[in-house]
Amino acid sequence: MIAIDLSDRNVLITGGNSGIGQGITKLFLEAGARVAVADVAYKEKAKRQSERLVHLKLDVTNKSEVDEAVQEAEHLLGPISILVNSAGISTMDYAVAIREEDWDRVMDVNAKGTFLVSQAIARRMLELGIEGRIINIASQAGKNGYRCMGNYCSSKHAVLGFTKVMAVELAPKQILVNAICPGIVETSMKHRERIDGAKLRELTPEQIYEEDCSQVPLGRTAQPVDVARVALFLASELSSYMTGQAINVTGGMTMN
């Protein structure tokens, strides 16, 4: 078995305090990386947890906060060579009923946030000559349409489009940009979506869960670690000839 060693890597992970981002943080630390977790939920500014883990407070929709967080992460850990954009939110409603403020908020966090952080990190990689990695956590919702998820699907389609453009533009400098498209992952956000979706569709959350599982050929929904393992692969030298890809981690639910 090939062991992936990230002990020479400094990583910035947005949304790393919960869900998929938290799973990626845990696995990257186990692989030896030095990690800065940037999350809006964190209440203290730049608190060092250990020599290899730093927490930063960051609203990814705020450009000045993004620029400051990138500078602080570099100050505390050294130049960032791997970025994982995992910050994301969702709201649910039928397309004809989506509120403008919900549309804007989901697009701001999921699409604009990915743009702002990726841009800031890519600029530093170019300035410093770093052959780095940018890994965007998109979704199978970036390839498909799902009822009551119009703003979320649109935001994740945007993430995939931006991933492809950055991959083309940064390839000459050996900065690899890829996306992961998770399927149904058991996180607090997914559990809340089942409650909200059940109300909209006059079902129970349990019925939604059964429906979820019935759509996955492998017969189960994902855990954050299932996505984290693919992120670890993309961060490693094993993926050195891959860029501009949107990799499904869906248990077979999405195959295109």
* Cα–Cα distance, 256 to 246 (Å, whole number): 10
Q: Which of 42, 94, 152, 241 is labelled catalytic? A: 152
The token pair at 91 is 């709201």
Q: Is position 152 annotated as part of the catalytic site?
A: yes
**Which of 88, 85, 155, 89 has the alpha carbon at shortest distance from 121?**
85
In the numeric block, the tokens 């990257």 are attached to 28
DSSP summary character for residue 29: H
Sign of the C-alpha dihedral, residues 46, 11, 160, 63?
positive
Per-residue burial over 175-187, b if 16 or more Cβ lie within 10 Å, else e, is bbbbbbbbbbbbb
Transcribe 94-162 into DSSP letters: -GGG--HHHHHHHHIIIIIHHHHHHHHHHHHHHHHT---EEEEE--GGGTS--TTBHHHHHHHHHHHHH
- Residues designated as active site: 152
